[in-house]
Copies of this chain bind each other. A is one copy, B any other.
Amino acid sequence: MAAQKKGTGGKQPTINDVAALAGVSKKTVSRVINRSEFLTEKTRKAVEQAIETLGFVPNPQARALAFRRNFLIALLHDNPNAQTVLNFQQGVLDAIKDSDLALLVRPVDRGSDRMLDDVRTFLEKQRPIGALLLPPISENDDLAALCEDLGVRYVRVGSAPLDDAKHCVSSNDREVVAEAVRALIALGHRRIGFVRGPQGFRSAAEREKGFMEALAEAGLDLPAAYNAPGNYRYTAGIEAGEALLSLSLPPTAIFCSNDEMAAGVMSVAHAKCIDVPGALSIIGFDDSPTATHIWPALSTVRWPIREMGVRAAKTLVPDFLPLAGKVDESDSGVLNSTFIQRQSVSSPQR
């Protein structure tokens, strides 16, 4: 029974009650709460005892007012993939579970020209300890500059290091995409198609680089007809599938820049009665729920998004706040993505 059960109307004990019970001043209690070093072991014990007895919990609103800073972490996101956002949230929450912090969620509207003003107002009002920026909005330098300007700590999450490690958590997508494509090549694929992500997205660029790298290593090239545009949406996958699979010499494998588009390509394959993976291998990226809900199950790259949430939170939280397992300063902030091979891939059969 950790918490004191209190009925309705049972008022929360305040710092004054604790001080009275411990026989010290409220300032001393405050020192204990904030882990000041100038305290006798005896005093500290007495105060901690009183806190325990009363079940005292410092009022965050009062602390926020005095500190001029709320004990909140803001999560700014505009990622359309719900699972990604939620997994990241979960990671953040894992990290701050036993702390005094809470998570404030704020989707931002990248399209809007008032975006920066909106975020500014939000940050000025809520005064969070810091902000976590999820891609693609994390790639916006103005936003990072805004945080700097407002004195709000921030961590950018991305597919590749964006900045110094203090402000960035990322994964090695390029390498792992290359690894996945190498796997296709090792299986004997020579005609490999590519479905791009949207222009101007760092994640899309990284995936493309990895793809090209692996192709180049094997001395293969990418015919223009095998290089289909995309925007991370299912419908773009359908269109790319229609285009690539109608060619007189279609690819035997297609790498799609995300799972949704891969699902689209697979739908087209089904509609055209093309056997997957017999006649066509497909790889996606994200390891979204979709990847395992389609048939055959999609080979994909798992982005360690939840771990990145943990890491991002630990990087964000300043040292003076207690948080289990602070991040090692020397850490580069790069986490590993992993290639997951499932049934959508085999050697080409012809």
Contact = CB atoms under 8 A, between A and B. Distances in A.
Contact of A294 (B72, B106, B295): B295
B290 A121 contact: no
A57 B87 CA distance: 33
Contact of A65 (B3, B65, B126): B65
Interface string A227-268: 000000010000000000000000000000000100110110
Given A65-B65, A105-B103, A7 B149 contact: yes
A127 to B, nearest CB: 7
A22 interface: no
A239 to B, nearest CB: 15
A2 interface: yes
Contacts of A337: none
A61 B295 CA distance: 51
Contact of A62 (B65, B93, B126, B264): B65
A43 interface: no
Contacts of A7: 149
Interface string A161-172: 000000000000
Given A7-B149, A293-B234, A295-B266, A57 B124 contact: yes
A102 interface: yes
Given A82-B82, A292-B234, A121 B8 contact: no
B86 A149 contact: no
A117 interface: yes
Interface residues of A, number: 58
A263 B65 CA distance: 51
A2 B82 contact: no
Given A83-B83, A114-B2, A292-B234, A103 B104 contact: yes
Of A90, A106, A126, A295, most buried by chain B (CB within 10 Å of CB) is A295
Contact of A82 (B60, B149, B289): B289
A289 B292 contact: no
A120 interface: yes
B294 A60 contact: no
A70 B65 CA distance: 12
Contact of A293 (B70, B122, B126, B263): B263
Interface of A: 1-3, 7-8, 12, 57, 59-62, 64-65, 68, 70, 72, 82-83, 85-87, 89-90, 93, 100, 102-107, 114, 117, 120-122, 124-127, 149-151, 234, 260, 263-264, 266-267, 270-271, 289-290, 292-296
Given A65-B65, A264-B293, 13 more contacts: A1-B117, A3-B117, A57-B121, A60-B125, A82-B87, A85-B86, A90-B107, A103-B106, A266-B295, A267-B295, A271-B295, A289-B290, A293-B294
14 contacts: A3-B120, A12-B124, A57-B125, A60-B127, A61-B65, A72-B104, A93-B105, A102-B125, A104-B104, A234-B293, A260-B293, A263-B293, A263-B294, A271-B295
9 pairs of A and B residues whose beta carbons are closest in the complex = A267-B295, A82-B86, A61-B64, A263-B293, A82-B83, A61-B65, A270-B295, A82-B82, A290-B293
